Chain A
Amino acid sequence: MALNKTPADNTPSCNEELYAKHEKIYPRAVSGLFATWRVMGVLVLLGAYYFIPWLNWDNHQAVLFDLPDRKFFIFGLTFWPQDFFYLAVLLIIAALSLFFFTTLAGRLWCGYACPQTVWTEAFLWIERKIEGSRNKQMKLAKAPWSARKLRIVGTKHFIWIIFSLWTGFTFVGYFTPITELWASSLAITLGPWETFWVFFYGFATYGNAGWMREQVCIYMCPYARFQSAMFDKNTLVISYDDARGEPRGSRKKTDNREDKGLGECVDCTLCVQVCPTGIDIRQGLQYQCIGCAACVDVCNQVMEKMDYPKNLIRYTTENAIEGKPTKIIRPRIIFYSILLLATTSALIYAMLVRIPLELDIIRDRNALYRETNEGLIENVYTLKVINMDNQAHDYSLHVTGIEQLKLIQRQENIYVPSGQVISLPVRVQVDPINIKTAASDLTFTLQSKSNKELIVIEAGRFIGPLIR
């Protein structure tokens, strides 16, 4: 059974016999419970995306990924490259959520939250406002080019392009302060790379949401393909209830359908018309189905009009369709939830106890150790003190690990401005009689003088001769 496309001219040129020209899909407008949820999703997600870069926090943009400076601001938290581990944990959480939600209820991401869906919905809305309903759009597409068609189609693409440029501009605004970006754009003094990325992401938005649409979901997205590997018989998927619906056929509302030997499906094909990927859900679950539940909404409207019970097409499980009991709480679900809960709690905890101070100890390696004129043994260290706080600090340093050890620094006070790294050479001097092992463990303690909570303890190494 092939894709249920509108019958097209299937005689391609002899060069591209095995490649089909893309037939545009005109999803019919739909309203209902799931459509409302999707609209909410679009408004919240797009709203957040376009609004957040304009927020400020302390003296910087609230969410800013300053790549040249290698500082990543997320509201009150400032992340440095050393914190990239947290990003890895975040990605693990994202993957675990994917497994969890997909096993539970199928392609929730695809139908409600995926950027491809969200932006395509926005573009579809614009298209509907300018070109009209599905039938009007199809008529316009078939009509020959005229001044009117040019005007209408031109307006649509113009608005799409403005919207896309705004999207690209906002994207770059997460990496360069957006107010500066705006000022530069108005004065046409944008740098070459900023200009490139604004247009690149603008073009990507326009291309993906304006033209490619379901082609991304059907051919390009790897997520689409491996989601089915995560379904099982207890996963909530969108299904047409064959047993209730068949045999399908049109009839009058006043007819008694049992007498006519018909199922509940009136074969209105509305479920096919609203489908953004162009499938017929009555043929069963297909890989192209993004789980948007538009068919559920529209079928329910028809069922209501016909006074038939609702949910002929609905979220259900394979077990339920076969008449077997559905188990929501099953080993996979429990396992994923535990992992998800554990990793998320660990991340939140790490964020809460995070200390914006780091000390790296680099022991000089030009010589194992140095002997002074008085016969004392010295090891030299370069300390890197990283102040990740948003204010400057004075720190004090203590070292322990060998009896009567002496720490020699050029100045006692260690001053580091906010967001800076300093290199500090220090010497640890010991009387060799106190050295117990060739390589001794030292403990360096760095503490802020004003805020005693800012304290880090690091291990170092002292190498010296053993006196027997």
Chain B
Amino acid sequence: MSTFWSWFVAILTIANLIGCYWLIKWATKPRSGEAAEGDVTGHTWDGDLQEFNNPLPRWWLWLFYITLIFAFLYMALYPGSGIYKGSFGWSQTGQYEAEMSKAEQTYGPIFAKFAKQDIPTLANDPQARQIGQRLFINYCSTCHGSDAGGAPGFPNLTDNDWLYGNKAEDIENSILNGRTGVMPAMGGALGEQGVKEVTAYVISLSGRNADTALASSGKTKFEAMCAACHHASGTGNTLIGAPNLTDKTWLYGGSAGIIAKTIRDGRTGSMPPHRNFLGEDKAHVLAGYIYSLRNAQ
């Protein structure tokens, strides 16, 4: 809040409170010509409805004063007047941090206990699996689906196809540090005909039918340009996340057109790192849950 607005808020609020006090003082002064206490004021509505000038009870006045005192006290203790923080030092972030540290005290020991166990053990522990499932639904299901079955561009975590390795540590690594799966765009280097040929060859790798002429030309180009990452046999490289092209799992789609686009324009898959905002302990339990999903189908 800038200084100007801070003063704006502070002055208006305090002035209004003082104004309320002035108002009650002004209203208690009798005016000449006013009806005496207990008399009718002289106004008549609907033929015979009259108004008396009866006094308000004194306790009402005292309640009003008490609310004014409360208001001034509040302004002194809490941040109600602009930049001034109030002598209690209360803030929204402070309250949030207090709640977070209280939660940490309650839930920290549970995660600390699991942090000591290895991932396969966690995968067999029902409580760890349930916590992992809730964490998954919270943090992972938007991309990977609530059944972890994936979506175009987001891997299926329930099958046996692992881009970066199927060991527990690989999974935990993906969660903690994230992954960036980059397929460089080969369209410029290959040209449109080259893309057609390599597409045909890639399709043939998984046992599907493809034009043999195109495929054999594509094989030469594949060995020259693609084998470095995908291995000459096309089985992929888990160290860099190059997919296995000989199976039936296609991260972005397995039709000829989609494979051609992948080759031509490249792909950038992004798994965000979770180490900082989730913490290692929670990521550990998450990894346990994902590990438990394998072979579950």
Binding site for B on A (CB under 8 A): 1-3, 10, 12, 15-22, 212, 215, 219, 364, 366-367, 370-371, 373, 378, 380-382, 408, 410, 423, 425-427
B37 at the interface (CB under 8 A from A): yes
Q: Which of these, B38, B57, B141, B248, contacts A366 with CB under 8 Å?
A: B141
- Whole-angstrom distance between the Cβ of B151 and the nearest chain A Cβ: 4
What is the chain A residue whose CB lies nearest that of B147? A425
- Residue of A10, A373, A426 with most partner-chain B CB within 10 A: A373
With A16-B28, A423-B134, A427-B149 already in contact, 5 other A-B pairs whose C-beta atoms are closer than 8 Å: A17-B30, A19-B57, A20-B56, A212-B59, A382-B137
- Whole-angstrom distance between the Cβ of B274 and the nearest chain A Cβ: 17
- The answer to whether B57 touches A15, judged by C-beta atoms less than 8 angstroms apart, is no
- The answer to whether A10 touches B296, judged by C-beta atoms less than 8 angstroms apart, is no
- The answer to whether B149 touches A423, judged by C-beta atoms less than 8 angstroms apart, is no
- The answer to whether A3 touches B133, judged by C-beta atoms less than 8 angstroms apart, is no
Q: Which of these, B56, B145, B248, B254, contacts A18 with CB under 8 Å?
A: B56
B61 at the interface (CB under 8 A from A): yes
- The answer to whether B296 touches A410, judged by C-beta atoms less than 8 angstroms apart, is yes
Contact A423-B145, Cβ < 8 Å, known A10-B37, A17-B28, A20-B58? no
Tell me the bound Cα distance from A307 to B112 in angstroms.
Answer: 89
- The answer to whether B145 touches A3, judged by C-beta atoms less than 8 angstroms apart, is no
- The answer to whether A378 touches B149, judged by C-beta atoms less than 8 angstroms apart, is yes
- The answer to whether B146 touches A381, judged by C-beta atoms less than 8 angstroms apart, is yes
Q: Which of these, A1, A17, A366, A381, contacts B142 with CB under 8 Å?
A: A366
Q: Which 4 A-B pairs have the closest CB atoms?
A: A2-B38, A20-B55, A367-B151, A425-B147
Q: Which residues of A contact B154 (CB under 8 A)?
A: 366
Tell me the bound Cα distance from A426 to B43 in angstroms.
Answer: 73
- The answer to whether A219 touches B137, judged by C-beta atoms less than 8 angstroms apart, is no
- The answer to whether B149 touches A370, judged by C-beta atoms less than 8 angstroms apart, is yes
- Whole-angstrom distance between the Cβ of A211 and the nearest chain B Cβ: 9
Dominant SS among interface residues on chain B = loop
Contact A366-B143, Cβ < 8 Å, known A20-B55, A373-B249, A373-B254? yes
B277 at the interface (CB under 8 A from A): no
What is the chain A residue whose CB lies nearest that of B158? A410
B187 at the interface (CB under 8 A from A): no
Tell me the bound Cα distance from A364 to B142 in angstroms.
Answer: 8
Query: Chain B: interface residue count, which band?
Result: 35 or more
What is the chain B residue whose CB lies nearest that of A13? B58
Q: Which residues of A contact B141 (CB under 8 A)?
A: 364, 366, 382, 425
Q: Which residues of A contact B27 (CB under 8 A)?
A: 18
Q: Which residues of A contact B38 (CB under 8 A)?
A: 2
Q: Which of these, B37, B59, B146, B297, contacts A364 with CB under 8 Å?
A: B146
B54 at the interface (CB under 8 A from A): yes
What is the chain B residue whose CB lies nearest that of A374? B248
- Whole-angstrom distance between the Cβ of B156 and the nearest chain A Cβ: 9
Q: Which residues of A contact B134 (CB under 8 A)?
A: 423
Contact A2-B52, Cβ < 8 Å, known A370-B151, A427-B149? yes
Q: Which of these, A19, A366, A410, contacts B28 with CB under 8 Å?
A: A19
Tell me the bound Cα distance from A366 to B297 in angstroms.
Answer: 21
Contact bitstring B35-75, A, C-beta under 8 A = 1, else 0: 00110000000000000101111111100000000000000
Tell me the bound Cα distance from A181 to B62 in angstroms.
Answer: 35
Q: Which residues of B contact A408 (CB under 8 A)?
A: 297
B150 at the interface (CB under 8 A from A): yes
Tell me the bound Cα distance from A382 to B145 in angstroms.
Answer: 9
Q: Which residues of B contact A21 (CB under 8 A)?
A: 58
- The answer to whether A18 touches B137, judged by C-beta atoms less than 8 angstroms apart, is no
- The answer to whether A425 touches B146, judged by C-beta atoms less than 8 angstroms apart, is yes
- The answer to whether B58 touches A370, judged by C-beta atoms less than 8 angstroms apart, is no
B152 at the interface (CB under 8 A from A): yes
Q: Which residues of A contact B148 (CB under 8 A)?
A: 425
Tell me the bound Cα distance from A425 to B30 in angstroms.
Answer: 73
Q: Which residues of A contact B142 (CB under 8 A)?
A: 366
- Whole-angstrom distance between the Cβ of A270 and the nearest chain B Cβ: 24
Q: Which of these, B54, B56, B145, B249, contacts A380 with CB under 8 Å?
A: B145
- The answer to whether A22 touches B58, judged by C-beta atoms less than 8 angstroms apart, is yes
Tell me the bound Cα distance from A15 to B21 in angstroms.
Answer: 13
Q: Which residues of A contact B248 (CB under 8 A)?
A: 373
Q: Which of these, B55, B60, B61, B145, contacts A370 with CB under 8 Å?
A: B145
A sample of 11 cross-chain residue pairs with beta-carbon separation below 8 angstroms, ordered by A number, consists of A3-B54, A16-B28, A18-B55, A19-B61, A215-B59, A219-B57, A364-B141, A366-B151, A373-B254, A381-B146, A423-B137
Tell me the bound Cα distance from A14 to B145 in angstroms.
Answer: 75
What is the chain A residue whose CB lies nearest that of B27? A18
Tell me the bound Cα distance from A235 to B141 in angstroms.
Answer: 64
Chain B residues 114-149 with CB under 8 Å of chain A are: 133-134, 137, 141-149
- Whole-angstrom distance between the Cβ of A297 and the nearest chain B Cβ: 28
Tell me the bound Cα distance from A127 to B38 in angstroms.
Answer: 31
- Whole-angstrom distance between the Cβ of B203 and the nearest chain A Cβ: 14
Tell me the bound Cα distance from A21 to B59 in angstroms.
Answer: 8
- The answer to whether A367 touches B145, judged by C-beta atoms less than 8 angstroms apart, is yes
What is the chain B residue whose CB lies nearest that of A10? B37
